[in-house]
Amino acid sequence: MLHPQSAIRNPQSAIPIGVFDSGVGGLSVARELMRQAPAQPIIYLADQAHAPYGQRSLAEIRALSKAVTGFLLREGARIIVVACNTASAAALRSLRDSFPEVPFVGMEPAIKPAAEHTRTGHVGVIATEATFQGELFASLIDRFATGITVHTQTCPALVPLVEAGEVRSERTRTALQGYLAPLLDAGIDELVLGCTHYPFLRPLIEQVVGAGVEIVDPAPAVARQTVRVLAARGWLAEGNQAAAHRFYTSSNPDRFRSALEELVGLDVEVERVVWYGADVSRSPSVPPR
């Protein structure tokens, strides 16, 4: 059983936050964590070998999420942020069952604030098919969208475009225009970003939807919840000195390093991890930390 401790004052002894996504999208959450808890180290794994998760079965996503969580825990993480809407919808409950002593913070489409702020009574949500299929999304609609019409739109091209670094391209703008047109025609005035990749497209999205539509990004709220969990357990590192973070990918480290610099402004080393059957680990030549 985990017990609250005093606040951590030495950044070198700070408890790392494990963060994972199928790719670069979770960096939108990591960026908020760095802003709200700068002294807390992050261990980030981008499972780009299996990206995008949104095109996989729920069973596959659960198996991948369990293996990635195990890796992050072995690397020293004590709290896990599932910085992927698809993985949160498909696997968060099973992860909590598999790792009962580990606190998890997951993503969920921000239906509640959108429903509270809408003036037209029409809210749009863009996400993956797996996010919409999960029990979590249906529960959010039941709890928070009474009397509100929620319009959903899957956007299968967006995650690959963000992974490819096309966050400002005309091809991405064209894709957004096609996906968002039905929502705009329906009269939405709130647009929920239901995938962690989408905040990196926010400038283009704002141009497409115009000033009359408020964009709702859940990443800041997820970071605040993570900080609350850390504080409640006495794990929150004090101070404003930036922590040392570690980044891993199951695909091309150079490509992910370029994305880190482009999307988050970090120029750091990225290490590749390897899948062995149903497990993921660092290279055998590199000892565990």
Question: What gap in Å lies between CA 132 and CA 42, rounded to an integer?
Answer: 29
Amino acid identity of residue 179, one-letter, is Y
Query: In sequence order, what are the beta bridge partners of 81?
Result: 19, 105
Question: What gap in Å lies between CA 218 and CA 194, rounded to an integer?
Answer: 8
Give all strands (DSSP E) within 194-278, no chain letters.
Answer: 214-216, 246-249, 271-276
Phi and psi dihedrals of 120, rounded to 5?
Answer: -90, -15
The reply to whether 155 belongs to the active site is no
Of 77, 126, 150, 195, which residue is the catalytic one? Answer: 195
What are the percentages of helix, strand and coil residues in the chain, rounded to 5? 45, 20, 35
- Is 239 buried (19+), middle (13-18) or exposed (0-12) by CB count in 10 A? middle
- The beta-carbon contacts of 57-64 under 8 Å, at least 24 apart in sequence, are 58/90, 58/91, 58/130, 58/133, 58/134, 61/86, 61/87, 61/90, 61/91, 61/130, 62/90, 62/91, 62/94, 62/95, 63/278
Of 19, 84, 107, 158, which residue is the catalytic one? Answer: 84
The reply to whether 84 belongs to the active site is yes
Rg (CA), the chain: 19
- Is 197 buried (19+), middle (13-18) or exposed (0-12) by CB count in 10 A? buried
Question: What gap in Å lies between CA 286 and CA 289, rounded to an integer?
Answer: 9
Three-state secondary-structure class, residue 77: coil
Question: What gap in Å lies between CA 18 and CA 82, rounded to an integer?
Answer: 8
**Tokens 């991890």 sit at which residue?**
273
- Catalytic residue ranges: 84, 195
